[in-house]
Amino acid sequence: MRGLTRRLLLKKVASLDVEKAIVDRVKIECTCDMGKKADTMFKDILDSEQLMKDFPHTFSYNPQFFVLEQGSWPIQQKVKTAILPLQIQSAQTAFNEFYKSKRRGKCLTFVPHMSTALIYARFNQSQTEIVKQIEMSGL
């Protein structure tokens, strides 16, 4: 499950249909509970993609949030609080307000240790941009 979680959240899945077919085979061999959790994981990814399409933002970057059902993902919230850059805090606040307007009665818990970030640096005009992806994965 951890491998599937990592592939889904880091968008390293070649095909959701192939992943679903593998999970269907695993369901036959393993518990029904594991199959239900995997189905919920796929549903969460598709729902999150739709939420991000609907999320109106005016940021200079493209934030990506996943809304995951607690208990279906092998993720634990290790860090209770984290000091995030102001740009990320404002995106988080905007998404939280957007989500609450869409799904009344639901609350979000942000898990910063599962975050990834792309950092762009330009050292002078003649050099090409350097891109570094930072993963703070707790898996």
Task: Give the total number of structural domains in the chain.
Answer: 1
Alpha-carbon gap, residue 117 to 135, rounded angstroms: 7
Buried b (16+ CB within 10 A) or exposed e, 85-119: eeebeebbebbeebbeeeeeeeeeeebbebbeeee
Asked whether residue 52 carries a pLDDT value surpassing 90, the answer given is yes
Question: What pLDDT is recorded for position 139?
Answer: 46
Q: Taking the CA of residue 122 as centre, how many other CA atoms within 13 Å lie in the half-sphere pointing to its CB? A: 5
- What is the domain range of residue 30? 2-135
What CATH number is associated with residue 55?
4.10.1030.10
Residue type, 37: K
Question: What pLDDT is recorded for position 34?
Answer: 76
pLDDT in tens, 89-124: 899 999 999 999 998 888 888 888 777 777 776 666
Separation in Å, CA 107 to CA 1, 97, 123: 25, 10, 41
Question: What pLDDT is recorded for position 127?
Answer: 57
pLDDT in tens, 123-135: 666 655 556 555 5
Contact 77, 109 (CB under 8 A): yes
Q: Average pLDDT in the 51-73 region? A: 89
pLDDT in tens, 65-91: 999 998 888 887 676 677 888 888 899
